[in-house]
Structure 1
Amino acid sequence: MDQKVWIDGIGWLGSVCVVAAYFSVSYDRFRMSPFLYQLLNAAGSLCLIVNTAYYRAYPSASVNIIWLGIALMALLRNRVKTKVKS
C-alpha cells in the first residue's frame, strides 16, 4: 500500500473519533466518561494533524494542534482532580 492510502486512512479514523465524541456528548446516545471523550478527541485530532500536515492544509492542522492541546490539558486536569480526591 502506498503512503497516501495510509495517510487517508489515518485522516478518516481521526474524523470518526472526533465525530463520535461530539455526537455522544451532543445527543447523549452513549454513556461516555469524560476521560473517554477527551481521549477520543485527542486521538482524533492527532490523526487529523498527520493527515492535514501531509496535505499541507496548515490552517486545519493548526486547529487540530489546538484541539489536541485542549484535550490533553483536560485529560491532565482530570487526572490531577482524581488524584486529589483519592
Structure 2
Amino acid sequence: MAHIPLLIEIVGWLAAALILASYVLLSLGRLEPRGPVYQWMNVVGAAGFVLNSGYNGAMPSAGLNVIWAAMGLWTIFTVRRLRRSGRQPDKTLL
C-alpha cells in the first residue's frame, strides 16, 4: 500500500497535463470546443484531479473538478443527442 500515494501523485500530474494539452490544442484551433475529444480530455483530466485532490484533502479543488467533469459530460451528451436528432447544437442550447 506504500505505492498508493505515488500513484495518486502520478494521476494528478497526468490530469494536469491532459487538461493543459486540451486547452493548448483548443487555443491553437486543433480542437473544437464542443467536440468530443476536447470534452473527453477535460472529463478525464477532471476525474484525475478529483482523485488527487480528494486524496490529499483539497476539497474545494475536488468539488470544482466534479462540476468541471459534469459540465463536460453534459456537453458531450447534449451535442450527441442534438446531432442524432438531425439538429446542430447552437449556443443557446448549451
**TM superposition score normalised by structure 1:** 0.90
Higher relative contact order (CA 8 A, sep 6+): 1
**TM superposition score normalised by structure 2:** 0.83
Say whether 1:61 aligns with 2:62. Answer: yes
User: Could you say what secondary structure the match of 1:85 adopts?
Assistant: coil
Q: What's the offset of the Cα at 1:60?
A: 0.5
Query: After the TM superposition, which segments of 4 or more aligned residues of structure 1 sit over 3 Å from their partners?
Result: none
In terms of fraction of residues, the more helix-rich structure is 1
Q: What's the offset of the Cα at 1:27?
A: 2.5
Q: What is the RMSD computed on CA atoms of the aligned residues?
A: 1.5
Using the aligned pairs only, state the percent identity: 27
- Segments of structure 2 that go 5 or more residues without pairing to the other structure are 88-94
Between 1:1-10 and 1:52-61, the stretch displaced more is 1-10
- Segments of structure 1 that go 5 or more residues without pairing to the other structure are none
